[in-house]
Amino acid sequence: MRPAAAALVTILGLLTGCSDSSDPASGPAAASTITEPAPWSATTNEAFTGSPPAFPELLHDGWRLRQEWNIITRAFNDSWAAGAGPEHAPFPATMNGCDTSRFLVRWRTVNPDSKLLSGWISGEVADAVQPAESGWMSLDGCQTPQWQLLSPAGNFLTDVTVDIQEWKPAP
């Protein structure tokens, strides 16, 4: 491998947590290629369904973890339920400086028979993703996560357990 290519592989390995298996100095190596995108990408205002990935220990591009909290919120079939902030204070979204915060959100219904729409709000609810029992979101600092129950056979509410991380730019 040419020196420039080797340096690039080393830098990419440091950024992604992988190492080059052809470099004997790196010791036992992890896979040197990434087969799927990282679950917590640089893109914000995205929502996904399915089993949520673990929270990252480090976020790309110079972010630092400010705080982490969990809540249980109640979702209804006739309105959107917003996520809350720490100690059930209002969610710490803002109207200004959307790029000065990131919120990583993991959620699941307490009742596995319940299906929820998930989305976010910045004035009004954005596009919701397909119904699911669990999922995750990556939001900028102006968005608040929300959920709405799709009512199965007479249910009109369900509880949602939510874990949230707030990230700020590192100095």
CB 45 within 8 A of CB 120: yes
43, pLDDT greater than 90: no
156, pLDDT greater than 50: yes
Entry pTM:
0.74
Where do runs of H (alpha helix) occur along the chain? Answer: 3-16
Which carries the bigger pLDDT value, residue 101 or residue 128? 101
All residues at 6 or more sequence positions from 128 whose CB lies less than 8 Å from its CB, including other chains: 47, 117, 118, 119, 148
In the chain, beta strands by DSSP E:
46-49, 63-76, 81-82, 102-109, 115-121, 134-140, 144-150, 157-169
CB 145 within 8 A of CB 162: yes
Confidence of residue 152 (pLDDT cuts 50, 70, 90): low
3, pLDDT greater than 50: no
How much is the average pLDDT of 53-57?
A: 93
Confidence of residue 53 (pLDDT cuts 50, 70, 90): very high
For residue 40, the model assigns a pLDDT of 85
For residue 67, the model assigns a pLDDT of 96
Using a CB cutoff of 8 Å and minimum separation of 24, what contacts does 63-68 make?
63/102, 63/167, 63/168, 63/169, 63/170, 64/167, 64/168, 64/169, 64/170, 65/165, 65/166, 65/167, 66/101, 66/166, 66/167, 66/168, 67/165, 67/166, 68/163, 68/164, 68/165, 68/166
Helix and strand counts by DSSP (H, E) for the chain:
1, 8
